[in-house]
Amino acid sequence: MELQELRSFIRGLPKAELHLHIEGTLEADMIFALAERNKVRLPYADIESLKRAYQFTNLQSFLDLYYAGAAVLQTEQDFHDMTWAYLQRAAADGVVHTEIMFDPQTHTSRGVVIETVFAGLASALRQGQQELGISSSLIFSFLRHLSEAEAFATLEQALPLREQYADLWLSVGLDSSEKGNPPEKFQKVFARCKELGFRRVAHAGEEGPASYVRDALDLLQAERIDHGVRSEEDPALMQHLRQEQVPLTVCPLSNLKLCVVTDLKQHNLKRMLEQGLCVTVNSDDPAYFGGYILDNYMAVAQALDLSREQLVQLAQNSMNARF
Protein backbone atom coordinates (compact mmCIF):
# COMPACT_ATOMS: atom_id res chain seq x y z
CA MET A 1 0.00 0.00 0.00
CA GLU A 2 2.73 2.39 0.96
CA LEU A 3 4.64 1.72 -2.26
CA GLN A 4 1.45 2.18 -4.22
CA GLU A 5 0.94 5.54 -2.52
CA LEU A 6 4.48 6.62 -3.25
CA ARG A 7 4.04 5.63 -6.88
CA SER A 8 0.86 7.60 -7.32
CA PHE A 9 2.38 10.58 -5.49
CA ILE A 10 5.34 10.63 -7.90
CA ARG A 11 3.11 9.97 -10.89
CA GLY A 12 1.07 13.02 -9.94
CA LEU A 13 4.06 15.38 -9.97
CA PRO A 14 4.31 17.27 -13.29
CA LYS A 15 7.65 16.13 -14.70
CA ALA A 16 9.87 16.74 -17.70
CA GLU A 17 12.06 14.02 -19.13
CA LEU A 18 15.26 15.58 -20.45
CA HIS A 19 17.61 12.65 -20.95
CA LEU A 20 16.02 10.00 -23.11
CA HIS A 21 17.49 8.37 -26.21
CA ILE A 22 14.54 7.46 -28.36
CA GLU A 23 16.43 4.51 -29.86
CA GLY A 24 16.83 3.29 -26.28
CA THR A 25 13.07 2.91 -25.92
CA LEU A 26 12.91 0.05 -28.43
CA GLU A 27 11.49 -2.81 -26.39
CA ALA A 28 12.59 -6.32 -27.32
CA ASP A 29 9.14 -7.23 -28.64
CA MET A 30 9.12 -4.15 -30.87
CA ILE A 31 12.62 -4.99 -32.14
CA PHE A 32 11.29 -8.37 -33.23
CA ALA A 33 8.09 -6.95 -34.68
CA LEU A 34 9.99 -4.36 -36.74
CA ALA A 35 12.57 -6.94 -37.81
CA GLU A 36 9.76 -9.05 -39.18
CA ARG A 37 8.02 -6.10 -40.84
CA ASN A 38 11.26 -5.02 -42.53
CA LYS A 39 12.75 -8.47 -43.16
CA VAL A 40 15.83 -7.67 -41.05
CA ARG A 41 17.72 -10.69 -39.73
CA LEU A 42 18.51 -10.44 -36.02
CA PRO A 43 21.42 -12.27 -34.40
CA TYR A 44 19.01 -13.51 -31.68
CA ALA A 45 16.61 -16.43 -31.99
CA ASP A 46 13.81 -14.91 -29.91
CA ILE A 47 12.84 -12.16 -27.47
CA GLU A 48 14.14 -14.13 -24.50
CA SER A 49 17.60 -14.65 -25.92
CA LEU A 50 17.81 -10.96 -26.84
CA LYS A 51 16.84 -10.01 -23.30
CA ARG A 52 19.43 -12.37 -21.87
CA ALA A 53 22.04 -10.24 -23.66
CA TYR A 54 21.07 -7.23 -21.48
CA GLN A 55 23.83 -7.99 -18.97
CA PHE A 56 26.10 -5.01 -19.36
CA THR A 57 29.50 -4.52 -17.79
CA ASN A 58 30.07 -0.94 -18.91
CA LEU A 59 28.85 1.71 -21.37
CA GLN A 60 30.49 0.10 -24.41
CA SER A 61 28.95 -3.34 -23.82
CA PHE A 62 25.55 -1.66 -23.90
CA LEU A 63 26.26 0.50 -26.94
CA ASP A 64 27.19 -2.53 -29.04
CA LEU A 65 23.75 -4.04 -28.43
CA TYR A 66 21.96 -0.70 -28.74
CA TYR A 67 23.29 -0.06 -32.26
CA ALA A 68 22.36 -3.61 -33.27
CA GLY A 69 18.78 -3.05 -32.05
CA ALA A 70 18.45 0.26 -33.89
CA ALA A 71 19.13 -1.55 -37.18
CA VAL A 72 15.46 -2.62 -37.40
CA LEU A 73 14.38 1.01 -37.89
CA GLN A 74 13.88 1.54 -41.61
CA THR A 75 10.76 3.52 -42.46
CA GLU A 76 9.04 6.68 -41.29
CA GLN A 77 6.36 4.46 -39.76
CA ASP A 78 9.00 2.63 -37.67
CA PHE A 79 10.30 5.88 -36.19
CA HIS A 80 6.74 7.00 -35.57
CA ASP A 81 5.71 3.76 -33.84
CA MET A 82 8.79 3.74 -31.59
CA THR A 83 8.23 7.36 -30.53
CA TRP A 84 4.50 6.92 -30.05
CA ALA A 85 5.07 3.89 -27.79
CA TYR A 86 7.45 5.97 -25.65
CA LEU A 87 5.04 8.92 -25.41
CA GLN A 88 2.23 6.68 -24.17
CA ARG A 89 4.47 5.28 -21.45
CA ALA A 90 5.71 8.75 -20.52
CA ALA A 91 2.14 10.06 -20.28
CA ALA A 92 1.23 7.17 -18.00
CA ASP A 93 4.17 8.15 -15.75
CA GLY A 94 3.00 11.77 -15.45
CA VAL A 95 5.49 13.30 -17.91
CA VAL A 96 4.16 16.58 -19.30
CA HIS A 97 7.19 17.59 -21.34
CA THR A 98 10.00 15.66 -23.01
CA GLU A 99 13.14 16.60 -24.89
CA ILE A 100 14.22 13.48 -26.70
CA MET A 101 17.63 12.70 -28.11
CA PHE A 102 18.10 10.88 -31.36
CA ASP A 103 21.25 9.75 -33.15
CA PRO A 104 20.96 10.66 -36.86
CA GLN A 105 24.31 9.03 -37.65
CA THR A 106 23.12 5.65 -36.37
CA HIS A 107 20.55 5.73 -39.15
CA THR A 108 22.20 7.64 -42.00
CA SER A 109 25.20 5.29 -41.79
CA ARG A 110 22.79 2.41 -42.56
CA GLY A 111 21.35 4.18 -45.58
CA VAL A 112 18.21 5.58 -43.91
CA VAL A 113 17.85 9.16 -45.08
CA ILE A 114 17.62 11.94 -42.51
CA GLU A 115 14.22 13.04 -43.90
CA THR A 116 12.72 9.67 -42.89
CA VAL A 117 14.05 9.97 -39.35
CA PHE A 118 12.74 13.50 -38.82
CA ALA A 119 9.36 12.77 -40.39
CA GLY A 120 8.65 9.73 -38.20
CA LEU A 121 9.78 11.34 -34.96
CA ALA A 122 7.98 14.60 -35.66
CA SER A 123 4.62 13.07 -36.57
CA ALA A 124 4.57 11.11 -33.30
CA LEU A 125 5.64 14.13 -31.22
CA ARG A 126 2.96 16.32 -32.79
CA GLN A 127 0.38 13.61 -32.17
CA GLY A 128 1.62 13.40 -28.57
CA GLN A 129 1.02 17.11 -28.13
CA GLN A 130 -2.52 16.83 -29.47
CA GLU A 131 -3.70 13.56 -27.99
CA LEU A 132 -1.65 13.19 -24.81
CA GLY A 133 -0.93 16.81 -23.97
CA ILE A 134 2.83 16.22 -23.86
CA SER A 135 4.95 19.06 -25.23
CA SER A 136 8.29 18.06 -26.69
CA SER A 137 11.40 18.93 -28.64
CA LEU A 138 14.26 17.10 -30.33
CA ILE A 139 17.95 16.97 -29.40
CA PHE A 140 19.98 16.16 -32.51
CA SER A 141 22.85 14.19 -31.00
CA PHE A 142 26.30 13.63 -32.43
CA LEU A 143 28.03 10.30 -31.86
CA ARG A 144 31.29 11.10 -30.11
CA HIS A 145 33.09 7.93 -31.20
CA LEU A 146 32.91 9.30 -34.76
CA SER A 147 34.92 12.27 -36.00
CA GLU A 148 34.04 15.94 -35.81
CA ALA A 149 34.11 16.05 -39.64
CA GLU A 150 31.35 13.42 -39.68
CA ALA A 151 29.36 15.46 -37.17
CA PHE A 152 29.66 18.49 -39.45
CA ALA A 153 28.54 16.43 -42.44
CA THR A 154 25.45 15.18 -40.60
CA LEU A 155 24.57 18.68 -39.48
CA GLU A 156 24.86 19.97 -43.06
CA GLN A 157 22.60 17.17 -44.29
CA ALA A 158 19.94 18.09 -41.76
CA LEU A 159 20.02 21.89 -41.92
CA PRO A 160 17.72 22.13 -44.96
CA LEU A 161 15.02 20.52 -42.78
CA ARG A 162 15.39 23.03 -40.00
CA GLU A 163 12.58 25.31 -41.04
CA GLN A 164 10.14 22.44 -41.54
CA TYR A 165 10.81 21.22 -38.00
CA ALA A 166 11.47 24.58 -36.35
CA ASP A 167 8.86 23.84 -33.65
CA LEU A 168 10.73 20.69 -32.57
CA TRP A 169 14.42 20.82 -33.43
CA LEU A 170 15.77 23.21 -30.82
CA SER A 171 18.99 21.62 -29.65
CA VAL A 172 22.04 19.50 -30.26
CA GLY A 173 23.75 16.98 -28.01
CA LEU A 174 26.73 14.67 -27.70
CA ASP A 175 26.46 11.00 -26.75
CA SER A 176 27.95 7.50 -27.20
CA SER A 177 31.35 6.30 -25.89
CA GLU A 178 32.68 8.92 -23.51
CA LYS A 179 36.12 7.66 -22.56
CA GLY A 180 38.78 8.73 -25.04
CA ASN A 181 36.35 11.09 -26.79
CA PRO A 182 36.68 14.33 -24.79
CA PRO A 183 34.49 17.38 -25.38
CA GLU A 184 37.32 19.28 -27.08
CA LYS A 185 37.01 16.90 -30.05
CA PHE A 186 33.68 18.60 -30.91
CA GLN A 187 34.49 22.19 -30.05
CA LYS A 188 34.16 23.53 -33.61
CA VAL A 189 30.88 21.84 -34.45
CA PHE A 190 29.34 23.02 -31.17
CA ALA A 191 30.55 26.56 -31.85
CA ARG A 192 28.83 26.35 -35.23
CA CYS A 193 25.64 25.08 -33.62
CA LYS A 194 25.69 27.94 -31.13
CA GLU A 195 26.09 30.38 -34.01
CA LEU A 196 23.08 28.78 -35.67
CA GLY A 197 21.06 29.35 -32.51
CA PHE A 198 20.79 25.77 -31.24
CA ARG A 199 20.63 25.03 -27.51
CA ARG A 200 23.37 22.65 -26.37
CA VAL A 201 23.65 19.62 -24.09
CA ALA A 202 26.40 17.04 -23.72
CA HIS A 203 26.97 13.76 -21.93
CA ALA A 204 29.85 14.17 -19.51
CA GLY A 205 31.06 12.76 -16.22
CA GLU A 206 29.31 9.41 -16.54
CA GLU A 207 32.37 7.22 -17.11
CA GLY A 208 34.65 10.12 -17.99
CA PRO A 209 36.27 12.36 -15.37
CA ALA A 210 34.96 15.60 -13.83
CA SER A 211 37.24 17.52 -16.21
CA TYR A 212 34.98 16.40 -19.08
CA VAL A 213 32.07 18.16 -17.35
CA ARG A 214 34.10 21.34 -17.04
CA ASP A 215 35.19 21.08 -20.68
CA ALA A 216 31.63 20.46 -21.84
CA LEU A 217 30.65 23.73 -20.13
CA ASP A 218 33.68 25.76 -21.17
CA LEU A 219 34.53 24.39 -24.62
CA LEU A 220 31.10 23.27 -25.89
CA GLN A 221 29.07 25.91 -24.05
CA ALA A 222 26.76 23.13 -22.92
CA GLU A 223 23.73 24.43 -21.02
CA ARG A 224 22.85 21.09 -19.44
CA ILE A 225 25.05 18.15 -18.53
CA ASP A 226 23.78 14.64 -19.18
CA HIS A 227 24.75 12.44 -16.21
CA GLY A 228 27.51 14.53 -14.57
CA VAL A 229 27.62 12.23 -11.55
CA ARG A 230 31.42 12.31 -11.44
CA SER A 231 31.37 16.11 -10.94
CA GLU A 232 31.65 15.39 -7.24
CA GLU A 233 35.33 14.62 -7.72
CA ASP A 234 35.97 18.36 -8.25
CA PRO A 235 34.73 20.61 -5.40
CA ALA A 236 35.28 23.81 -7.39
CA LEU A 237 33.20 22.40 -10.24
CA MET A 238 30.46 21.46 -7.76
CA GLN A 239 30.37 25.02 -6.50
CA HIS A 240 30.10 26.31 -10.06
CA LEU A 241 27.27 23.89 -10.87
CA ARG A 242 25.40 25.05 -7.80
CA GLN A 243 25.94 28.76 -8.35
CA GLU A 244 24.94 28.64 -12.00
CA GLN A 245 22.23 26.03 -11.38
CA VAL A 246 23.50 24.00 -14.33
CA PRO A 247 21.03 21.13 -14.70
CA LEU A 248 22.36 17.59 -14.42
CA THR A 249 20.17 14.97 -16.10
CA VAL A 250 20.88 11.98 -13.89
CA CYS A 251 19.75 8.46 -14.84
CA PRO A 252 19.85 6.21 -11.77
CA LEU A 253 18.86 2.83 -13.27
CA SER A 254 21.25 3.42 -16.17
CA ASN A 255 24.08 4.10 -13.71
CA LEU A 256 23.26 0.87 -11.93
CA LYS A 257 22.91 -1.24 -15.06
CA LEU A 258 26.15 0.10 -16.59
CA CYS A 259 28.05 -0.34 -13.32
CA VAL A 260 28.71 3.38 -12.72
CA VAL A 261 27.47 2.50 -9.20
CA THR A 262 27.28 -1.02 -7.76
CA ASP A 263 24.29 -0.29 -5.53
CA LEU A 264 21.72 2.51 -5.78
CA LYS A 265 22.18 3.12 -2.07
CA GLN A 266 25.61 4.46 -3.00
CA HIS A 267 24.28 6.82 -5.65
CA ASN A 268 25.23 10.47 -5.08
CA LEU A 269 21.93 11.91 -6.37
CA LYS A 270 20.66 12.73 -2.89
CA ARG A 271 23.96 14.29 -1.80
CA MET A 272 24.03 16.51 -4.88
CA LEU A 273 20.41 17.47 -4.33
CA GLU A 274 21.12 18.37 -0.70
CA GLN A 275 24.01 20.52 -1.84
CA GLY A 276 21.57 22.56 -3.90
CA LEU A 277 22.48 21.34 -7.40
CA CYS A 278 19.81 21.30 -10.09
CA VAL A 279 19.58 17.50 -10.27
CA THR A 280 16.89 15.79 -12.36
CA VAL A 281 15.81 12.14 -12.76
CA ASN A 282 15.55 10.54 -16.21
CA SER A 283 15.49 7.12 -17.83
CA ASP A 284 18.24 7.31 -20.52
CA ASP A 285 17.56 4.04 -22.43
CA PRO A 286 14.60 2.59 -20.55
CA ALA A 287 14.03 -0.51 -22.68
CA TYR A 288 17.55 -1.68 -21.88
CA PHE A 289 17.97 -0.47 -18.30
CA GLY A 290 14.85 -1.89 -16.72
CA GLY A 291 12.61 1.10 -16.22
CA TYR A 292 10.96 4.27 -17.44
CA ILE A 293 11.01 7.57 -15.57
CA LEU A 294 8.59 6.59 -12.82
CA ASP A 295 10.61 3.43 -12.12
CA ASN A 296 13.72 5.61 -11.84
CA TYR A 297 12.03 7.94 -9.34
CA MET A 298 10.75 4.95 -7.38
CA ALA A 299 14.17 3.30 -7.31
CA VAL A 300 15.96 6.34 -5.87
CA ALA A 301 13.08 7.28 -3.58
CA GLN A 302 13.43 3.88 -1.92
CA ALA A 303 17.20 3.33 -2.09
CA LEU A 304 18.03 6.84 -0.85
CA ASP A 305 14.99 7.33 1.33
CA LEU A 306 14.02 10.60 -0.36
CA SER A 307 11.48 12.82 1.35
CA ARG A 308 8.34 14.07 -0.38
CA GLU A 309 9.93 17.53 -0.50
CA GLN A 310 12.95 16.11 -2.27
CA LEU A 311 10.79 14.30 -4.81
CA VAL A 312 8.88 17.52 -5.46
CA GLN A 313 12.21 19.33 -5.85
CA LEU A 314 13.45 16.78 -8.41
CA ALA A 315 10.30 17.19 -10.48
CA GLN A 316 10.46 20.97 -10.14
CA ASN A 317 14.11 20.94 -11.25
CA SER A 318 13.16 19.04 -14.39
CA MET A 319 10.52 21.64 -15.25
CA ASN A 320 12.95 24.50 -14.60
CA ALA A 321 15.62 22.87 -16.77
CA ARG A 322 13.45 22.70 -19.91
CA PHE A 323 14.57 24.62 -22.99
Residue placing its CB nearer to Zn ion in the complex, 296 or 310:
296
Alpha carbon distances (Å) from 11 to 6, 38, 97: 8, 36, 14
Q: What is the DSSP letter of 40?
A: P
Of the candidates 17, 206, 207, 223, the residue annotated as catalytic is: 206
CB of 83 to Zn ion, least distance (A): 17
* Pair 26, 69: CB distance under 8 Å: yes
Residue placing its CB nearer to Zn ion in the complex, 15 or 19:
19
Interaction of residue 78 with Zn ion, rule CB under 5 A: no
Please tell me the distance from the alpha carbon of residue 146 to that of residue 298, in angstroms, as a whole number: 35
- CA nearest to 199, candidates 99, 123, 119: 99
Instruction: Indicate the residue type of 246.
Output: V
Alpha carbon distances (Å) from 20 to 148, 175, 219, 239, 244: 23, 11, 23, 27, 23
Phi, psi of 133 (to 5 degrees): 70, 25
Residue placing its CB nearer to Zn ion in the complex, 230 or 310:
230
Number of residues that bind Zn ion (CB under 5 A): 1
* Pair 186, 151: CB distance under 8 Å: yes
CB of 63 to Zn ion, least distance (A): 10
CB of 19 to Zn ion, least distance (A): 6
- x/- contact string, 233-252, with Zn ion (CB under 5 A)? --------------------
CB of 282 to Zn ion, least distance (A): 8
Residue placing its CB nearer to Zn ion in the complex, 207 or 215:
207
Please tell me the distance from the alpha carbon of residue 202 to that of residue 212, in angstroms, as a whole number: 10
- x/- contact string, 268-297, with Zn ion (CB under 5 A)? ----------------x-------------
CB of 101 to Zn ion, least distance (A): 7
- CA nearest to 57, candidates 265, 275, 282, 256: 256
Residue placing its CB nearer to Zn ion in the complex, 89 or 227:
227
* Pair 266, 244: CB distance under 8 Å: no
- CA nearest to 256, candidates 217, 277, 229: 229
206 is catalytic: yes
CB of 174 to Zn ion, least distance (A): 10
Q: What is the DSSP letter of 175?
A: E
Residue placing its CB nearer to Zn ion in the complex, 44 or 190:
190
- Give the residue numbers marked as catalytic: 206
> Rule CB under 5 A: which residues touch Zn ion?
284
